[in-house]
Structure 1
């Protein structure tokens, strides 16, 4: 193989690899929610004496999607809840890369991760008390990356 052909071959491999990488994390669904789950743990404060903890790692978790709920609809303390008194719409699971996607009808939903101890995690709340809420519109997807950070110090 000549050096020009080798160079073209290397360029082609790089281009094709880039295309495959771009597809990772892209939803196949037409309407609903998708994202990545990241585990964050340890000291996240900048300090001259202590090294900063590793920023994050992707994790596999089960997720539960409910009709939108507020603090009056849950038991336990934020961000870990013991029970959600709402209508469970879907249960899904993220893959080994932390990626998940869920086809949903138009509407408003709350998304929780199920932690290893069985508690439900959500750390995003709006001014009216809605917990980790998303609003699915017709023919659209919502990217919701979740930072599971209840063992991190900021």
Structure 2
């Protein structure tokens, strides 16, 4: 019974959005959850004679990162990679700093990670064989790296 009470209390604490972006000079980090970098790619990424190797590689960016209970395409409104509504519980959110870095303390489990885009849209370009949108698994006492490339305005 004490075990379940401890899990319940931990879940309540997580609902308080225990995510934060790293600020300059801030030391340390989380012991369990996700961290990563948000970058944006816009424009032409097609190979060709006028493209320089390593030319248009994208740039890091500030974004709000939304972490939902694992979400399938059927639980989201819109046509990927942009969604206008997510019909799953919002677990947490974090803000990526000027270097694109974000981190968020999360309990072990599987989550769907989205970025906030213009017009109140949510971006997730990846899915797995189960139809889960941008799934990220957090393991006990580990930090999962979740690098996000926002590329809905890119041509490949």
Considering the TM-score relative to the shorter chain, is it more than 0.5? yes
Q: CA deviation at 1:106?
A: 1.1
Structure 2 equivalent of residue 111 of structure 1? 113
Give RMSD over aligned pairs. Answer: 1.8
Structure 1 equivalent of residue 61 of structure 2? 59
Tell me the secondary structure at the aligned position of residue 117 of structure 1. Answer: helix
Q: CA deviation at 1:46?
A: 1.3
1:27 and 1:34 in contact (8 A); partners too: no
Structure 1 gap ranges (5+): 1-23
Structure 2 gap ranges (5+): 1-24
Q: CA deviation at 1:117?
A: 2.1
Q: Distance in 1 between matches of 2:39 and 2:66?
A: 16
- Closer, same or farther in 2 for the Cα pair 1:67/1:141, shift >3 Å? same
1:69 and 1:109 in contact (8 A); partners too: yes
Q: Distance in 1 between matches of 2:46 and 2:135?
A: 28
TM-score w.r.t. length of structure 1 = 0.79
Q: CA deviation at 1:49?
A: 4.1
The count of corresponding residues between Structure 1 and Structure 2 is 130
After TM superposition, what 4+ stretches of structure 1 lie above 6 angstroms from structure 2?
none
Structure 1 equivalent of residue 138 of structure 2? 136
Q: Distance in 1 between matches of 2:28 and 2:110?
A: 19
TM-score w.r.t. length of structure 2 = 0.78
Structure 2 equivalent of residue 21 of structure 1? none
1:44 and 1:152 in contact (8 A); partners too: yes
Q: Distance in 2 between matches of 1:50 and 1:105?
A: 44
Structure 2 equivalent of residue 100 of structure 1? 102
Larger radius of gyration: 1
Per-residue Cα deviation, 1:64-118 (whole angstroms, up to 9, x for no partner): 1001010110000100000000000011100010000000011110000001221
